[in-house]
Structure 1
Amino acid sequence: MKKLLIATTALVLVAGAATAEVKVTGDARFGLSYNSANLVNDFTAEYRTRVKFNMSGKTDGGLGFGASFIVNGTKGVTDVTGSSMVWVSGSWGQVSVGEGVDTGSDSVGLGIADVGYKGIGVDDLAEGLYAASAANINYTGTFGAITVGLSYNLPVAGGTAADQDWSIGVGYKGDGFKVALGYDSAEFGTNTLTIGGGVTMGAMSANVIYSMPDAGADAYGVDFGYKLNSATALTVAYATDGSDTAFGVGVAYTLGGGAKLVAGIGEVAGDTKAEVGMTFSF
C-alpha cells in the first residue's frame, strides 16, 4: 500500500497548526491454488481486492489522531470488513481502538514468513498459540531501539461480552538483527510465552519464533530468505505445533510498479498445498 489507489484524495484544513488529511490506498491479488485435502476440487481460483481509507490529523497542541477502515471485495461479494480503527498518538506512543488493532505480541514483530501469494499456512502452526488472543485496544510505543506493545479486549457497547484477553510484547532492533518477547493470556485458551528474533546479513535473512503455553505442546518455526537479485527473492519456512508439521518453499519476483509474481509449494499438517498468482499494491 505504498502507492495511492488510482488517485489520492487529500483534504487539508488549516486552523493554526492543525491539519487533516484523507488518503486512499489499496491492494489486490489473484491466483490458482492447489490443496490435496479438498474433496471436490484440488485446484481452485482465488482473488481479492481491498481499498483502505486512512484519515489523519493533528491538533494545535501537536496531538496526532486518525482513523481507518477497509472495503473488501472477494468472490463477487463487497463489504466493509471488521478492521476499522481509531487512534491518537504523540511522542509517548500511539493508542489504537477498534477491530483492526494488533495484540501486544504482534506489535513488536514476532512471527515468521509464509510462502505463496496469499500464504499456504506454514506460519500458522508456529504462530497459532500467541495469535489466539484477541484485542480491540492497543498501546504501542517506540523509544529508540526498544518497542513496547500492550493490548486488551474490552467489552463494546451494544455487543457481546469481551473475553478479556490481554497481551504484552517488548522488542529490540539493532544493526541487522531484532529480538522480541511476548506474553499472551486468552481467557478461553492458554497463557503463552513467546520469544523470537531475526537477522539480516546482506542478501540473506532468517527469523525464528518459539511459543511455550502453560498447557499443551510448544510450537516453533523458522524461515530463511535469500535475494537472488534486486527483483527475485526465495523463502524457505518450517513450523510445528507439537503434533503437526509444515514446510514450504516460495519465490517472489518483483515486476515493478507495485506488482509481484509469487509462487509457493509445501506441506501443511500432511496436506500438499501449492499456489501461484500475482499481487498488486496501489
Structure 2
Amino acid sequence: MKTLLLASTALVATAGFAAADVKITGYAEIGIIGGDVYATDQWHTDIDVTFAMTGESDGGLAFGATVDLDENGAFNNTTQGGETYFLSYGALRLDMGDTDGAFDAAMKEVNLAGASIADDETTHAGFNGNSGLDGTFDGQIARVSYSAAGFTAGLSAEIDDTGVADPVWGLGLRYTTDFGGTAIGIGLGYQTQEDVADLLGVSLDASFGGGFSAAINYTTADIEGQSDDGTHMAIGVGYSMNALSIGVNYGEYEDWTLGCGTCDGYGIAATYDLGGGLAAHLGYGASDFGATDTDQYSLGLSMSF
C-alpha cells in the first residue's frame, strides 16, 4: 500500500443507522518518464483515491463498501482523466494534468456571469474558451508560472506521447491592477506547434462597481497551408447582484480552419440562487454557420450538497 497523503473521516448520523463512517485516502505522483520503452520522453501523472465506507444498523448488523478510483481506468499515468496536480513555492508554481496551457491561463474568457445547465452560452458557434491548441494530443499539460507585483508569466508544454508530432508550446503574461475601484486585467498569450499553427492573443477585462463586468479578447492564427490568417474576436458583459447573475457574450470566427470556418454566435445565461444549495438556471445560444443557423436553450435547477 502506498503512503497515504490525504485522510479524512466523516460521521453521518441518520434515522436508519447508528452511524456511518466514510474514509478517503489518496496518493499522487508527477514527473517525466522516458527511455527505450517509450516512443518519446513524456509527462507522468498518477493519482489514486479510495473511498472506504462502513456502517452499523441499530440491530448491530455491520455493512460496508469500498471503491478505488484508480482501478476503474479513469486515471492513466500518461494521459489525463480530469485530474490536476500542483506544486508551489512562494511565487513559483507548477501545474500538471488537466490544466490550461499558458496561452489560456493568461487570457480572459467572456462568459462572465450566470450559467446554464447545458452550457448554451459557451457552445454556440462564436464561442472560444481561449484554449488555443490545448488538447491537441491527450490534454496532459505541464505549466510553470511565476507571479509578482500583479504580473503572472507562464510557460507550458503538451507532448505527443507517440513521438511523431512536435510539442505544443505556450507562453502567457497576465497583469491585474485596481484603478479607481475598478479591477483591470490584461492578458497576452502565444502558442505554437511547429509546421501546424502559431496563435497570438490579447484580452482585456474589467470588474466595475455595482456588480457589472466586461471582457473582450482577440486572437490571430497563422495556420500552415492557409494564405490568410484566421481570426477570432469575442465580447461579453455580466451582472451579478445578490441572488441573480446574468451574462451575455458574442463571438465570431474568420478563416479559422482549426475549428469553425466563418461563423458567429451569441449566448445568454442567467442563474438565480434559491438558497441552501439550490439554484435556477436559464440559458440560450444562437449560432450562424454561414449556410445554416441553429439555436439551443435550457431551463432547470442545480443542486449543490
**TM-score, normalization by structure 1:** 0.66
Identity of aligned residues (%): 20
Does residue 166 of structure 1 match 2:173?
A: no
1:127 and 1:53 map into 2 onto residues whose CA distance is: 37
> In the alignment, what sits opposite 1:116?
116
Match of 2:206 among 199, 212, 216: 199
Does residue 211 of structure 1 match 2:219?
A: yes
Cα RMSD over matched residues? Answer: 3.5
2:206 and 2:123 map into 1 onto residues whose CA distance is: 20
> In the alignment, what sits opposite 1:95?
94
Does residue 236 of structure 1 match 2:248?
A: yes
Question: Are 1:122 and 1:247, in contact at CA under 8 Å, matched by a contact in 2?
Answer: no
> In the alignment, what sits opposite 2:238?
225
Does residue 80 of structure 1 match 2:74?
A: yes
Q: CA deviation at 1:160?
A: 6.2
How has the CA–CA distance of structure 1 residues 279 and 244 changed in structure 2, closer, same or farther, with 3 Å as cutoff?
Answer: same
2:119 and 2:49 map into 1 onto residues whose CA distance is: 20
> In the alignment, what sits opposite 1:131?
132
Secondary structure of 1:241's match?
strand
Secondary structure of 1:106's match?
helix
2:48 and 2:107 map into 1 onto residues whose CA distance is: 22
Question: Are 1:236 and 1:248, in contact at CA under 8 Å, matched by a contact in 2?
Answer: yes
Question: Are 1:69 and 1:80, in contact at CA under 8 Å, matched by a contact in 2?
Answer: no
Q: CA deviation at 1:54?
A: 7.8
Does residue 248 of structure 1 match 2:301?
A: no
Question: Are 1:130 and 1:211, in contact at CA under 8 Å, matched by a contact in 2?
Answer: no
1:25-104 equivalent positions in 2, closer than 5 A? 80=74, 82-98=81-97, 100-104=98-102
1:22-45, Cα deviation, whole Å (9 max, x unpaired): 579xxxxxxxxxxxxxxxxxxxxx
Instruction: Kindly indicate whether structure 1 or structure 2 has the higher relative contact order, using CA contacts under 8 Å at least 6 residues apart.
Output: 1
1:147-180, Cα deviation, whole Å (9 max, x unpaired): 1121101354xx6656401111110111111110
Amino acid at match of 2:93: Q
1:198 and 1:53 map into 2 onto residues whose CA distance is: 40
How has the CA–CA distance of structure 1 residues 212 and 109 changed in structure 2, closer, same or farther, with 3 Å as cutoff?
Answer: closer
How has the CA–CA distance of structure 1 residues 200 and 96 changed in structure 2, closer, same or farther, with 3 Å as cutoff?
Answer: closer
1:259 and 1:127 map into 2 onto residues whose CA distance is: 29
> In the alignment, what sits opposite 2:145?
140
How has the CA–CA distance of structure 1 residues 256 and 147 changed in structure 2, closer, same or farther, with 3 Å as cutoff?
Answer: farther
1:219 and 1:54 map into 2 onto residues whose CA distance is: 42
Secondary structure of 1:261's match?
strand
Question: Are 2:109 and 2:130, in contact at CA under 8 Å, matched by a contact in 1?
Answer: no
> In the alignment, what sits opposite 1:278?
301
Amino acid at match of 2:85: V
**TM-score, normalization by structure 2:** 0.61
2:297 and 2:238 map into 1 onto residues whose CA distance is: 18
Structure 2: which 5+ runs fail to align? 10-23, 29-44, 51-71, 76-80, 224-228, 255-261
How has the CA–CA distance of structure 1 residues 165 and 267 changed in structure 2, closer, same or farther, with 3 Å as cutoff?
Answer: same
Does residue 267 of structure 1 match 2:280?
A: no
Amino acid at match of 2:89: G
Q: CA deviation at 1:85?
A: 3.2
1:98-139, Cα deviation, whole Å (9 max, x unpaired): 2x1210022224221175224123576342675233452111
> In the alignment, what sits opposite 2:14?
none
How has the CA–CA distance of structure 1 residues 256 and 189 changed in structure 2, closer, same or farther, with 3 Å as cutoff?
Answer: farther
